[in-house]
Amino acid sequence: MLQLIQTEGWGGLYSGLKPSLIGTAASQGIYYYFYQILKNKVEDLAAARGNKGLGDGTVGMFSWLGIAAVAGSINVLLTNPIWVLVTRMQTHTQAEKKIMESKRKLLLKDVTRANSTEASILKDRLYKLDSEKPCPYGTVQTVREVYRESGVRGFWKGLIPTLIMVCNPSIQFMIYETLAKRLQSKRSGKELPKKNLTAMEVFLLGAIAKLGATVVTYPLLVVKSRLQAKQEIGRNVMSRYTGTIDAIIKMIRYEGLHGFYKGMSTKIVQSVFAASVLFMVKEELVKFVVMLIARSRTVLGPSSKKR
């Protein structure tokens, strides 16, 4: 963080903030929308099967996993272009600096080989290069760059590891729903609707669920970010990837296994807190909406009967 502030200023901490906010809002909205729809349908099916004596009427652990996976896949397919732009904007300045450093090394080699006249010209070019600073670019410039490099398919770079990353929220929701169910069962000795969980309980369960999911899937997140970041970093073959498998092989070869866990501590602090808040807010909103629907039915019930 200190290095980022020194090289890019405080503004560097907020690179890609605008598309990131849009991406977060879109992703969470799409994910929870489809998750809630699928969840309601599966719970209705489980209850119907229970009434027929084909089960206990509750949704199993692997059903929660499947629900979360389907909702996550829909979310990824719709929002991947936004996250490609976010990653590009957040890594642009560092990538440009590496490109400039590579150019500088080549110029220095040329200066040592050139005669006095050519060396003078090359030194001027070197001075201009040293005085240049990579300028941060906006959303429009990022869109143009991605399209220029890879066309429309460039906006879905990293799709495969991102789809695999769907297991992150899937594992997260499986852990959450399982822990919530066990907590309710332990407290009362029987199954109760999840609305009986307090906001703090939801917050803590959300934190535990996200922590477990992040530790398991973080290497995939690193691979996805590498693929979506700017690839043209000078002539450094180690930092240029042709695909998911190529990225994994090069990371193991040049960085070792610890390369897959770079920055995990920061990610855990950020994602665990964010997920806990989202779980808590989501559950409270669901309770509020259910309460409003129940009240509206109570108010409209008598009048509808008279008609």
What are 257-268's pLDDT values in tens digits? 888 888 888 888
101-130 as b/e, with b when 16 or more CB fall inside 10 Å?
A: eebeeeeeeebeeeeeeeeeebeeebeeee
What confidence score (pLDDT) does residue 74 get? 92
Nearest-angstrom CA–CA distance, 18 and 16: 6
Task: Give the amino acid at 115.
Answer: N
For the cut 50, the answer to whether the pLDDT of residue 65 exceeds it is yes
* Mean pLDDT of the region 170-192: 76
pLDDT, mean over the chain = 77
Residue pair 35/67 in contact (Cβ under 8 Å)? The answer is: yes
Residue pair 177/64 in contact (Cβ under 8 Å)? The answer is: yes
pLDDT tens readout for residues 211-229? 988 888 888 888 877 876 7
| 192: confidence class by pLDDT, cuts 50, 70, 90 | very low
For CA atoms 223, 228, 229, 233, the dihedral sign is: positive
For the cut 60, the answer to whether the pLDDT of residue 191 exceeds it is no
Would you call 77 exposed, middle or buried from its count of C-beta atoms within 10 A (0-12, 13-18, 19+)?
Answer: middle
Pick the most confident of 88-102, 225-239, 265-279: 265-279
Nearest-angstrom CA–CA distance, 281 and 245: 38
What confidence score (pLDDT) does residue 135 get? 58
Q: What are phi and psi of 243, to 5 degrees?
A: 180, -175
pLDDT tens readout for residues 82-91? 888 887 777 7
* Mean pLDDT of the region 93-114: 65
82 Cβ neighbours under 8 A, 6+ residues apart: 19, 22, 23, 26, 27
* Mean pLDDT of the region 30-41: 89
* Mean pLDDT of the region 199-213: 89
* Mean pLDDT of the region 162-175: 81
Cα 36-291-203 angle, rounded to 5 deg:
55
Instruction: Report the phi/psi class of residue 228: left, alpha or beta, with left for phi > 0 and alpha for psi in -120 to 50.
Output: alpha
Helix axes 244-255 and 199-228, enclosed angle (nearest 10): 90
Nearest-angstrom CA–CA distance, 33 and 138: 30
What confidence score (pLDDT) does residue 241 get? 77
Query: How many CB atoms neighbour CB 232 within 10 A?
Result: 14
* Mean pLDDT of the region 68-79: 89
| 11: confidence class by pLDDT, cuts 50, 70, 90 | low
Higher-confidence position of 40 and 270: 40
Give the domain ranges of the chain.
158-229+237-293
Nearest residue to 142 (alpha-carbon basis) of 15, 236, 27, 247: 15
For the cut 50, the answer to whether the pLDDT of residue 234 exceeds it is no
| 208: confidence class by pLDDT, cuts 50, 70, 90 | very high
Nearest-angstrom CA–CA distance, 95 and 7: 12
For the cut 50, the answer to whether the pLDDT of residue 305 exceeds it is no
For the cut 80, the answer to whether the pLDDT of residue 307 exceeds it is no
What confidence score (pLDDT) does residue 231 get? 59
